[in-house]
Amino acid sequence: MRFVVVTGMSGAGKSTALRFLEDAGFYCVDNMPPELMGKFAEIAFRPGSGINKVALGIDIRGGQLFGDLLPALEELSAGDYGYSILFLDAADGALQNRFKETRRSHPLARLGLAEDGIRLEREMLSELKERADYVVDTSDLLTRELREKIFALVVDKREYPNLIVTVLSFGFKYGVPTDSDMVFDARFLPNPFYIKDLKALTGNDRAVSDYVMRFEASRIFLAKMTDIVMFLLPHFTSEGKTQLVVSVGCTGGKHRSVTLANGLYNELSAAGKTVNIRHRDIMAGR
């Protein structure tokens, strides 16, 4: 019997995860009151029930009832009903953007401020997250990537070997990305901004990338960035980390950082790593 409790942050993808599990043959129930979990487990685990895979979606939508979840989980353990917890999470910024895009209010938002609701919810779920068997960060996951990860962890019950790396360029003048795991500073390199023919272009343009990479310091810097990231990847993986954000910054986030982020992305891709790229500030100020 596979008995999975699907929970996590609002907006992190719990409903999507339940749909994937339903496609995989799980009997799925969303927003079940925690106090009913014991009775449901008794029915599901009963010989001849015809149920061998269960996924229960439980989150703070249950209001005061959500406070019964931890005692309900203790009840399952006491009844020898084996279960696992799948916790869906995402960076605060990603969650705020999702609520803006869907024009929905966070269930715990006061005065309509999603950031307040997210902060309160994160506090409420901290203990549950610590007890989770699987924590999936959906901040930068495509739908197909989320499906693959859930199938690997929950359906096939195997380790998910790939650490997903996001290479992110940014401008220091707009602030360091809060979800960065590693930050590299490219501001010591010659700046194409001061070259008349290059100022209006970006690191995605060949003329700019050629200019930046013509300097030996740029080539050495890219090689050293690649070397340290490649060295750290297996260590992060062994610690159970599934998402890594490597940020490369310059002053405005348009020239040097974009060029080097593209270079790092290409090196990691060539090495067979699962990697995404994003240029946060490439259009800022335009």
Q: Got the DSSP string for 125-178?
A: HHHHHHH-SEEEE-TT--HHHHHHHHIIIIIS-----PPEEEEEEEEGGG---T
Whether 100 has a pLDDT exceeding 70, the answer reads yes
144 and 23 belong to one structural domain: yes
Interatomic CA distance for residues 86 and 135, integer angstroms = 6
Q: How confident is the model at residue 160, as a pLDDT? A: 44
180 and 139 belong to one structural domain: no
For residue 111, name the pLDDT band (cuts at 50, 70, 90).
Answer: low
286 within some domain? no
* The token pair that represents 82 in the structure block: 């084996």
118 and 259 belong to one structural domain: no
Q: How confident is the model at residue 65, as a pLDDT? A: 60
pLDDT > 70 fraction of the chain, expressed in percent and rounded: 92
Contacts of 147 (CB under 8 A, 6+ apart): 20
Q: Which backbone phi and psi does 5 adopt, to 5 degrees?
A: -100, 120
Q: How confident is the model at residue 116, as a pLDDT? A: 79
Higher pLDDT, 242 or 50: 50
Whether 104 has a pLDDT exceeding 90, the answer reads no
46 and 76 belong to one structural domain: yes
168 within some domain? yes
284 within some domain? no
Please name which of 84, 69, 78, 72 lies closest in space to residue 2, comparing C-alpha atoms. Answer: 84
151 and 173 belong to one structural domain: no
Q: Which domain holds residue 76?
A: 2-155
Q: Which of 97, 130, 155 is the last residue of a domain?
A: 155
Q: Which of 126, 155, 184 is the last residue of a domain?
A: 155
40 and 134 belong to one structural domain: yes
For residue 159, name the pLDDT band (cuts at 50, 70, 90).
Answer: very low
Q: Which of 155, 182, 201 is the last residue of a domain?
A: 155
136 and 181 belong to one structural domain: no
60 and 27 belong to one structural domain: yes
Q: How confident is the model at residue 266, as a pLDDT? A: 96
Q: Exposure pattern of 182-195 as b/e (b: 16+ CB <10 Å)?
A: bebebeebebbbee
Domain count, the chain: 2
Whether 81 has a pLDDT exceeding 80, the answer reads yes
126 and 84 belong to one structural domain: yes
Q: Which of 43-47, 156-160, 217-221 has the lowest mean pLDDT?
A: 156-160
141 and 179 belong to one structural domain: no
The single-letter DSSP state of residue 106 is P
pLDDT tens digits, one per residue of 17-63:
999 999 888 999 998 888 888 889 999 888 888 888 899 998 887 66
30 and 55 belong to one structural domain: yes
CATH at 48: 3.40.50.300
172 and 193 belong to one structural domain: yes
15 within some domain? yes
Interatomic CA distance for residues 181 and 177, integer angstroms = 9
pLDDT tens digits, one per residue of 121-146:
888 888 888 888 888 889 888 888 88
pLDDT tens digits, one per residue of 197-218:
999 999 999 999 999 999 999 9
285 within some domain? no
